[in-house]
Every structure is written in structure tokens, then in C-alpha cells.
Amino acid sequence: KAGVTQTPRYLIKTRGQQVTLSCSPISGHRSVSWYQQTPGQGLQFLFEYFSETQRNKGNFPGRFSGRQFSNSRSEMNVSTLELGDSALYLCASSLETGNEQFFGPGTRLTVL
């Protein structure tokens, strides 16, 4: 069974731009969660989607948004990028509840 895939793997943007990251969960998994990983803050929860609905949201500004499609694929968007948004963005999928989450390789975003 294929694992979680994320595209693109690397991205370089400038301040003020916006970016969209994509995540395809493991086949059959309906819950998708997003995390931000930085050296200073570690791994922080962004949001979780299930059946195209956001069920849970972390403590991030409204510039961070996401959505989920009917095939469970998910995208996250960051608008008006700031230098501090440079991070590894990780997507994880699970069957339904968010327990036993399997992670993708991440998208490395660099904001210049």
C-alpha cells in the first residue's frame, strides 16, 4: 500500500506571496492532519480534516487554511507569507479518528 505523499517536496517563496501544499493520504484513510515543524517550536498541530470538514484547528493565524476533497486528498494554503513561515510542513493520515497517524515526507518551505 502506498504511503502518504506530499507535493511539492521543496518550495522557495518570497514574503507576501501565497503557497499551496498538497497531501494524498494512504488509500482508505479519511482523516488528514497537518503539522508545522521548526527548529524553535518543534512540531505543532495546524488542523485536521475528515469527510471534507475541518474537525480541529491548532493555534495558528487565519493566514493558514486548508481543505479536503471528496477523495480525501487535502491541501493547505498559507497567504501573505512571512519569514517565520519557513518550516517543514508535514501531513499525516489515519483511518478515521486521528489515532495512529502515518506521516508523509513533508514539504520544505523556505520564505525569503
Partner 1 sequence: GEDVEQSLFLSVREGDSSVINCTYTDSSSTYLYWYKQEPGAGLQLLTYIFSNMDMKQDQRLTVLLNKKDKHLSLRIADTQTGDSAIYFCAESISYSGAGSYQLTFGKGTKLSVIP
Site for partner 1 in 71-110 (CB under 8 A): 90, 92, 96-106
Interface with partner 1 includes 112 (CB under 8 A)? no
- CA 58 to CA 2: how far, in whole Å? 28
Cis preceding linkage at 61, omega within 30: no
Q: Is 7 in the site for partner 1 (CB under 8 A)?
A: no
Task: Give the closest residue to 58 by CA, choosing from 49, 71, 50, 70.
Answer: 49
Stretch that binds partner 1, among 17-25, 45-53, 62-70, 75-83 (CB under 8 A): 45-53
Q: What phi-psi label fits residue 100: left (phi over 0), alpha (psi between -120 and 50 degrees) or beta?
A: left
Other beta carbons within 10 Å of 28: 10
Interface with partner 1 (CB under 8 A), residue from 45, 65, 67, 75? 45
Q: Quick check: 59 binds partner 1 (CB under 8 A)?
A: no
Task: List residues binding partner 1 (CB under 8 A).
Answer: 4, 6, 31, 33, 35, 42-43, 45, 48, 50, 55-56, 58, 90, 92, 96-106
